[in-house]
């Protein structure tokens, strides 16, 4: 009797094992047909990402035409050139206020350049030239450090670049650091998003990634990421749901399922040029009307590393790595 029971359970075990292997094989074959084979993602190094944030703010405010702006550009070029042989600098001169000529540069770094299936990851690298949300009028014309508003998203992308150097992604990935995003004065959107406008007008005619993801203000210590309104309702609801589900599956409840307000940001411009781009942004910071006074530093001199954390960078980085290497939604 015991022998029969053992044989029975052995048969069940072998049947389940065969079925699982068959499903896995079919899944792999399906992925291969799409030009994609899932890979185990590398581990996001939060300490290194944090240092990338500190390096940027260490140059000082990175507003266009400043010495810090030029030094930071050289830093990006060197670092990304060590990660990939495909780095492009898009340089141009744009019109600023009162006759000012802005020397601007977008930085583009590409990985797995042979793949025709590509996604775009972007963040703005400039910092705001005026702290117009300061209560003291004397401080309102001073440039900000932009630790969260600028440096945080870039820090995550630089860490991804380091990881993709040694762990080639299964799909094509283009990193775009846009310049001149935060130059405009409040109420004048024509002088915001200068880098994304230039990229949209001057990208290769056949460049249409499957989708784009913008990172903006993702480093706050008390990170909260509701779904941005344009992204969740218009631009790519399926991608938004997919990314937020990845975040929740990892226990990152900072990815809030609620839909917040619609934000004018680089992703709006990229959509105008035919790139389906969504925005991952801590939009509650905008307006400085939080009940938590520690989060009321948007467009002020208080946007410093003390407001950010390496843990928040890791949350966003982990989710993007899972997306790129295992679940790219292509």
Q: How much is the pLDDT for 291?
A: 86
Sequence ranges of the domains in the chain: 44-325
Q: Buried (b) or exposed (e) across 77-113, using 16+ Cβ within 10 A?
A: eebbeebbeebeebebebebeeeeebebbbbbbbbbe
* Least confident span in 37-41, 104-108, 287-291: 287-291
Average pLDDT over residues 149-161: 99
Residue 98, token pair as written in the block: 């009162």
Q: How much is the pLDDT for 27?
A: 39
DSSP 93-123: EEE-GGG-EEEEEEEEEEESTT-S-EEEEEE
- Which CATH architecture does the domain made up of 44-325 adopt? 3-Layer(aba) Sandwich (3.40)
- Whether residue 297 has pLDDT greater than 50: yes
Q: For 102, phi and psi rounded to 5 degrees?
A: -100, 120
User: Both ends of the chain: CA-CA distance in Å?
Assistant: 52
| pTM to 2 decimal places | 0.90
The predicted-structure confidence for 179-225, as pLDDT tens digits, reads as follows 999 999 999 999 999 999 999 999 988 999 999 999 999 999 999 99
Q: What percent of the chain shows pLDDT beyond 70?
A: 89
Which range of 32-46, 68-82, 281-295 scores highest in mean pLDDT? It is: 68-82
The predicted-structure confidence for 217-263, as pLDDT tens digits, reads as follows 999 999 999 999 999 999 999 999 999 999 999 999 999 999 999 99
74 CB-near residues (< 8 Å, 6+ apart): none
């Amino acid at each position: 009797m015991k022998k029969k029971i053992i044989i029975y359970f052995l048969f069940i075990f072998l049947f389940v094992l065969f079925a699982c292997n068959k499903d896995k094989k079919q899944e792999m074959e399906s992925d291969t047909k799409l030009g994609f084979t899932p890979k185990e993602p590398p581990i996001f190094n939060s300490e290194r990402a944090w240092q990338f944030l500190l390096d940027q703010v260490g140059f000082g405010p990175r507003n266009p035409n400043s010495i810090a702006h030029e030094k930071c550009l050289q830093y990006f070029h060197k670092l990304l050139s060590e990660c990939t042989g495909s780095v492009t600098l898009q340089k141009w001169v744009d019109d600023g206020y009162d006759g000012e000529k802005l020397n601007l540069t977008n930085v583009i770094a590409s990985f797995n350049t042979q793949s025709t299936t590509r996604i775009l990851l972007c963040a703005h690298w400039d910092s705001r030239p005026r702290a117009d949300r300061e209560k003291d009028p004397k401080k309102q014309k001073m440039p900000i450090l932009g630790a969260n508003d600028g440096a945080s998203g870039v820090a995550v992308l630089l860490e991804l670049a380091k990881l993709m150097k040694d762990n080639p992604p299964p799909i094509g990935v283009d990193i775009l650091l846009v310049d001149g995003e935060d130059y405009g004065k409040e109420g004048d959107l024509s002088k915001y998003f200068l880098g994304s406008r230039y990229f949209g007008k001057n990208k290769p005619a056949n460049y249409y990634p499957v989708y784009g993801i913008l990172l903006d203000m993702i480093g706050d210590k008390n990170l909260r990421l509701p779904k941005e309104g344009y992204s969740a309702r218009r631009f790519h609801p399926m991608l938004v749901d997919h990314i937020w589900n990845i975040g929740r599956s990892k226990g990152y409840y900072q990815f809030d399922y609620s839909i917040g307000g619609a934000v004018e940001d680089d992703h709006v411009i990229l959509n105008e040029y035919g790139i389906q781009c969504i925005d991952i942004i801590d939009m509650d910071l905008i307006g400085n009307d939080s009940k938590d006074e520690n989060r009321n530093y948007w467009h002020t001199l208080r946007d410093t590393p003390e407001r950010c954390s390496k843990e928040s960078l890791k949350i966003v980085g982990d989710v993007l790595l899972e997306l790129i290497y295992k679940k790219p939604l292509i």
